[in-house]
Amino acid sequence: MQTRLGLVILAVDDLPRARTFYRTAFDWPAVADVPVYCEFSLPHGMRLGLYDRRGFARNTGESPEKLPDGRLAPTELYFYPDDIDSAERRLAEAGARRLGERAPRDWGDEASYFADPDGNVIVLARPLPAR
């Protein structure tokens, strides 16, 4: 049996702010956009959903913890953009908080770290040339 990941949903404090952030940063098309939920279509069949925290609780029966401002969520979205320089600029323009400059990482990628407005970590990476 194989199981394919097709959708990641983030609970967000301010859906309009999160929607604007991800549209500005990545320009993915929205495939759902209702008052409590927005979903983007990403390349290769993947999707990213943004769910208002209170709406999220209706499905799970529990509300996810609200993070204090400036704190990081225990979530990391790891992306391989076609143009990492442009992707970094777009994230900065969208209002991402830079967490770490682009640098070689032990696992074989060059990666830079950012946080979205809800504290979710966004990584932009590209493979390092083989040695």
Q: pLDDT tens digit string along 37-74?
A: 999 999 989 999 999 988 888 888 888 888 888 899 99
* pLDDT, tens digit, 9 for 90 and up, residues 6-22: 899 999 999 999 999 99
Encoding tokens for residue 86?
């442009």
Q: Check pLDDT > 80 for residue 35.
A: yes
For residue 131, pLDDT beyond 80? no
* Domain coordinates in residue numbering, the chain: 7-62+72-127
Residue 38 contacts residue 19 (beta carbons within 8 Å): yes
Q: Could you give the dihedral angle defined by the CA atoms of residues 67, 72, 77 and 82, in that order, rounded to the nearest 10 degrees?
A: 130
User: What is the assigned CATH class of domain 7-62+72-127?
Assistant: alpha beta
